[in-house]
């Protein structure tokens, strides 16, 4: 809807560029007894709303991050003239219980993702949409039937809050000694020295009421003091998390407390600068007993250090309030660890309903990371609303002129490629439909994908996707072993090969979607397009003499095999290679593909051995390092909290437990567990749109005892070898001979 539909004649107000972190307030009186009171409100970037001294909601980082409105400074617009779509989320609260005869509405604003900028020596970004701003409409219905509105306008006033600096990536600085404003949100507070806010134009965008999951304090951790250094105390949270330490000053003197957070300790047991990621904040105290914590951003960390004038008393774990709805345990230590660590990594990387790449360095919704783990998250957690919201961000990120799809959503300047990044425009809708059965998502995104194909054609040579926009990366299989950030020379798998693989894969997915929708007219044209792309891959990368694609380096053969190309030698070379090295040699895409491909081809033991292998580039090596989240690189470079290598967790449920949806939304399922050496006991469950499905088994040398629970209204069969057994609703106990 438009601004006037959401806020009627309420005005957006701002302190302009005088302040990025203000308190704002205004007062009003009520005429009668209130029957109903609702406020529609938004503050950009983030806001907290107060009425008569009480915070209206405990939700964090509202409103949800989006591509708010046109930004002429965005790189894609300045460099290429691309036009995106935009939206702003607004909140609606029932506030009757907060009102009295005399009232004050107040808000605390911070720039969040809305107004950012670059910092010397640190990863920068372009998010300067404009100055922080605020808008509200309070609708009041009295018991006598009268109605009244209270709106934001230039009667609202502002002043500097104790938060004197806030940056979404780097942290915050507070000065509670200079700005002692405890009662700012109470009626009657003396604001005579405050300045009037300026009415500004309403952002030209689409306005939506926010209905996606909020960020909240999910749980608390008691930090453990592990070391005293010359300049501070170091605490261990016991796991890599996102949120904020809670700090208490020692003594009643005014002082400056410095907080430093990091993911690892150095060889001296101090905070490791390399994994601090510029996460340093400061608090000037006011001599009171107050507690100090981050308010409008989050850190990604395991260790926290404070100066000796303070102590850390608590740690708030904060992320989007996605509930884990699955369960898993087995007699294999690695699988248990991988399930737990993936979920922690994924939740750490969900904020403002965006699945991010990492919770510190960038915090962006990269579509490569996001599509690799989307099925995991939708399968193992209650993430439907979160991904529906993110799908709209992906849609907004598509250029209306060329069909280009940006590499993170909402859009910020970033790196990626037209293959495994932009193909999220069809991959994530496909997964959403598979998990939830919502055909409207396919209806919406198939035309967008066809438009995206126009961009791929414009950036192809001889039917290979060879380029991107000028000056942008055109990556292939990112984060291959021994590769570091910006070390593209170590990416030996040809980028055009990988990007054209994703083009063909996207064509296949669109064809499947068109069949689901009963719209088959375009399929012959798409099949001809696919035929051309397949020929280009074979002509350029397939060696008839060896049966290998691109010399089978870094998993090259699995990309060809996944498209149905190659021959028996191609597959044999894959199997021989991974039996020999006993670990992965692949980047983020190849790791997922080779694990799935081995299971799909019936090489279950090889797939399991690869998943649990103990070579250099393995999950086992990460586990033995003591990691509690998955790193960005097999070699532990840069971020220690990236979810994309957790994409293989879904195959534990699909293949080892054997829970397979036949068609969308688990209305019909096939239970087909794969029994392998080294795994004798396992149980797990997922909560689907149609109820909970659980599988457990205990295996001995000659027999397997299974217990399979099927919800009502789900058609289910059990398959082992060529035997098929129809399962009933409820508990099913089976004994099978190996």
Grade residue 74 by pLDDT with cuts at 50, 70 and 90. confident
| Pair 378, 361: CB distance under 8 Å | no
Mean pLDDT of 361-370: 95
Whether pLDDT at 123 is above 80: no
Q: Are residues 491 and 627 located together in one domain of the fold? A: yes
Query: Average pLDDT, stretch 504-513?
Result: 98
Q: Is the pLDDT confidence value at 590 over 90?
A: yes
| Same domain assignment for residues 118 and 145 | yes
- Residue 146 in domain: yes
Helix (H) or strand (E) holding 304: strand 299-306
Residue 460 CA to residue 467 CA, distance in Å, equals 7
Q: What is the pLDDT of residue 120?
A: 45
Task: Dihedral sign for Cα 610, 612, 616, 617, please.
Answer: positive
The domain spanning residue 140 has which CATH number?
2.60.120.260
CB 309 within 8 A of CB 609: no
Residue with structure tokens 């919704």?
365
Question: For residue 58, how many other CB atoms are within 10 A of its CB?
Answer: 9
Q: Can you give the three-state secondary structure of 374-391, one letter per residue? A: HHHHHHHECCHHHHHHHH
Whether pLDDT at 331 is above 80: yes
**Which pLDDT score is estimated for 122?**
45
Domain presence at residue 560: yes
Do residue 621 and residue 475 come from a single domain? Answer: yes
Task: Tell me the mean pLDDT in the region 186-200.
Answer: 97
Average pLDDT value over all residues in the chain = 95
Q: Which domain holds residue 728?
A: 664-737
The predicted pLDDT at position 417 comes to 84
- The answer to whether residues 48 and 134 belong to one domain is yes
Predicted pLDDT of residue 117: 61
**120 and 55 within one domain:** yes
The pLDDT assigned to 119 comes to: 52
Let me know if residue 136 belongs to a domain: yes
In terms of domains, do 622 and 698 share one?
Answer: no
Domain end marker among 610, 629, 656? 656
What SS3 string covers 196-248? ECEEECCCCCEEEECCCCCEEEEEEECCEEEEECCCCEEEEEEEEEEEEEEEE
Using 50, 70 and 90 to split pLDDT, how confident is the model at 469? confident
Q: What is the CATH number of the domain that holds 450?
A: 1.50.10.10
Proportion of the chain above pLDDT 90, given as a percent: 91
CATH number of the domain residue 706 falls in: 2.60.420.10
Considering the domain architecture, whether residues 407 and 514 belong to the same structural domain is answered as yes
Q: Does residue 172 belong to any structural domain of this protein?
A: no
Matching residue, tokens 């250029």? 399
Tell me whether residue 282 is in a domain: yes
**Which residue, 656, 682, 702, sits at the end of a domain?**
656
Most trustworthy range by pLDDT among 28-32, 392-396, 478-482: 392-396
The pair phi, psi for residue 620, each rounded to 5°, is -60, -40
Domain boundary among 320, 353, 384: 320
**Same domain membership, residue 233 and residue 360:** no
Sign of CA dihedral 603, 608, 609, 611: positive
In a domain, 167, yes or no: no
Residue 121 confidence (pLDDT) above 60: no
Same domain, yes or no: 514 and 651: yes
d(CA 153, CA 134): 9
| Per-residue pLDDT tens digits for 284-296 | 999 999 999 999 9
Instruction: Determine contact, residues 189/1, Cβ cutoff 8 Å.
Output: no
Same domain for 236 and 104: no
Is residue 174, in this structure, part of any structural domain at all? no
Question: How confident is the model at residue 490, as a pLDDT?
Answer: 73
Inside any domain, residue 170: no
Are residue 237 and residue 198 in the same domain, yes or no?
no
Q: Please compute the mean of the pLDDT values over residues 320-341 and round it to a whole number.
A: 98
Whether 357 and 425 map to the same domain: the answer is yes
- Per the structure, how many domains does the chain have? 4
């Amino acid at each position: 809807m438009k601004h006037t539909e959401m806020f009627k004649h309420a005005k957006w107000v701002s302190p302009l560029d005088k302040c990025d972190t203000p308190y704002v307030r205004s007062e009003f009186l009520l005429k009668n007894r209130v029957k109903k009171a609702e406020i529609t409100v938004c503050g950009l970037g983030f806001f907290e709303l107060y009425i008569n001294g009480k915070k209206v909601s405990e939700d964090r980082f509202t409103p949800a991050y989006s591509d708010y409105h046109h930004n002429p400074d965005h790189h894609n617009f300045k460099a290429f003239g691309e036009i995106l779509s935009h939206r702003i989320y607004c909140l609606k609260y029932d506030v009757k219980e907060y009102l009295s005869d005399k009232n004050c509405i107040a808000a605390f604003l911070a720039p969040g993702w809305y107004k950012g900028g670059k910092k010397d020596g640190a990863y920068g970004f372009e998010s300067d949409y404009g100055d922080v701003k605020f808008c509200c409409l309070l609708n009041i219905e009295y018991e006598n039937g009268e109605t009244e509105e209270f709106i934001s306008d230039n009667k609202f006033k502002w002043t500097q809050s104790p938060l004197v600096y806030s940056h979404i990536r780097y942290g915050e600085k507070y000065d509670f000694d200079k700005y002692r404003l405890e009662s700012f949100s109470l009626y009657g507070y003396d604001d005579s020295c405050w300045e009037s806010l300026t009415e500004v134009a309403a952002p030209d965008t689409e306005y939506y009421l926010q209905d996606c999951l909020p960020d909240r304090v999910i749980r608390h951790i008691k930090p453990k003091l592990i070391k005293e250094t010359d300049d501070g105390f170091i605490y261990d949270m016991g796991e890599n998390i996102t949120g904020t330490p809670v700090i208490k000053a020692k003594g009643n003197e005014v002082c400056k407390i410095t907080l430093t957070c990091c993911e690892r300790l150095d060889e001296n047991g101090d905070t490791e600068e390399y994994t601090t990621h510029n996460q340093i904040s400061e608090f000037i105290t006011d001599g009171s007993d107050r507690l100090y914590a981050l308010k409008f951003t989050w850190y990604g960390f395991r260790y926290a250090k404070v100066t000796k004038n303070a102590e850390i008393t608590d740690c708030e774990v904060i992320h989007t309030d996605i509930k884990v709805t699955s369960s898993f345990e087995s007699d294999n230590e690695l699988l248990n660890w991988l399930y737990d660590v993936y979920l922690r990594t994924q939740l750490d990387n969900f904020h403002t309903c965006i699945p991010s790449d990492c919770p510190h360095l960038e915090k962006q919704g990269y579509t490569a990371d996001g599509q690799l783990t989307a099925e995991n998250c939708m399968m193992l957690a209650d993430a439907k609303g979160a991904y529906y919201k993110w799908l709209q961000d992906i849609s907004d990120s598509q250029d209306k002129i060329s069909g280009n799809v940006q590499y993170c959503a909402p859009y910020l300047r970033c790196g990626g490629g037209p293959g495994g990044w932009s193909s999220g425009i069809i991959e994530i809708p496909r997964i959403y439909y598979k998990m939830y059965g919502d055909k409207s998502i396919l209806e919406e995104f198939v035309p967008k994908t066809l438009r995206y194909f126009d961009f791929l054609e414009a950036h192809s040579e001889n039917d290979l996707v060879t380029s991107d926009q000028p000056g942008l990366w055109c990556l292939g299989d990112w984060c291959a072993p021994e590769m570091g950030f910006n070390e593209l020379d170590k990416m030996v798998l040809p980028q055009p090969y990988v990007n054209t693989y994703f083009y063909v894969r996207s064509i296949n997915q669109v064809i499947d979607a068109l069949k689901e929708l009963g719209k088959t007219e375009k399929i012959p044209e798409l099949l001809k397009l696919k035929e051309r792309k397949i020929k280009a891959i074979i002509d350029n990368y397939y060696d008839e003499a060896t049966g290998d694609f691109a010399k089978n380096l870094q998993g090259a053969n699995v990309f060809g095999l996944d498209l149905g190309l190659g021959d028996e030698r191609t597959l044999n070379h894959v199997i021989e290679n991974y039996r020999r090295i006993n670990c992965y040699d692949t980047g983020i895409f190849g790791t997922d593909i080779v694990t799935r491909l081995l299971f799909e081809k019936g090489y279950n033991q090889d797939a399991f051995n690869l998943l649990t292998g103990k070579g250099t580039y393995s999950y086992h090596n990460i586990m033995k390092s003591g990691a509690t989240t998955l790193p960005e690189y097999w070699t532990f470079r840069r971020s220690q909290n990236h979810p994309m290598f957790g994409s293989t967790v879904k195959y534990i449920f699909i293949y080892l437990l054997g829970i397979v949806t036949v068609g969308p939304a688990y209305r019909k399922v096939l239970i087909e567990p794969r029994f392998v050496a080294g795994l004798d006991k396992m149980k797990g469950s997922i909560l689907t749109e149609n109820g909970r499905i659980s599988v457990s088994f205990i295996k001995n040398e000659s027999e397997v005892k299974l217990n399979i629970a099927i919800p009502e209204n789900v058609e289910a069969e059990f398959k082992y070898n060529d035997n098929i057994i129809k399962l009933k609703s409820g508990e099913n106990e089976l004994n099978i001979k190996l």
